[in-house]
């Protein structure tokens, strides 16, 4: 595979991660406040299943492709793209996963608030990763 293909994979993965994060930010997570308590667990578990299926491969592909591009090109833009992607992944695995585990047990306004706040940073990080990766490809 050539470098252009690797960077394209990084771009597509980052765009998908950013798009899903933004949809969750502006639409899905705010709905968590309005789902009837009796239905919340099933609603939340279904959300996690569907989103997990959508982002599973991009969560693996984005850091691998971005990391490869950064190491091969040694370009500061590629390293910055990798860094932003890793920030998004860090938020996902170190914070958001715990929020979702808590919400699988019970509806909790404070946890939803935390999820929304942290997801904004994740959305921004993956968006910046996509923009910088695209810029790297265009150079």
Is residue 129 within 8 A of residue 81, CB to CB? The reply is yes
Tally of structural domains, the chain = 1
Confidence of residue 137 (pLDDT cuts 50, 70, 90): confident
Query: Domain range holding 86?
Result: 3-138
* pLDDT for position 49: 98
Percent of the chain whose pLDDT exceeds 70 = 100
Instruction: Provide mean pLDDT across the span 65-94.
Output: 96
pLDDT > 80? residue 139: no
| pLDDT per position as a tens digit, 115-127 | 999 999 999 999 9
């Amino acid at each position: 595979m050539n470098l252009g293909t690797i960077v394209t994979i990084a771009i597509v993965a980052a765009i998908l991660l950013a798009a899903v994060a933004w949809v969750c930010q502006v639409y899905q997570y705010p709905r968590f406040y309005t789902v009837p308590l009796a239905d919340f667990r099933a609603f939340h578990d279904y959300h996690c299943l569907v989103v997990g299926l959508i982002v599973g491969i991009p969560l693996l592909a984005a850091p691998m492709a971005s990391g490869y591009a950064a190491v091969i090109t040694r370009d500061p833009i590629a390293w910055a793209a990798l860094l932003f992607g890793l920030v998004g992944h860090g938020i996902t695995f170190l914070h958001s996963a715990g929020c979702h585990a808590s919400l699988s047990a019970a509806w909790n306004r404070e946890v939803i608030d935390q999820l929304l706040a942290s997801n904004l940073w994740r959305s921004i990080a993956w968006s910046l990763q996509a923009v910088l990766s695209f810029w790297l490809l265009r150079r």
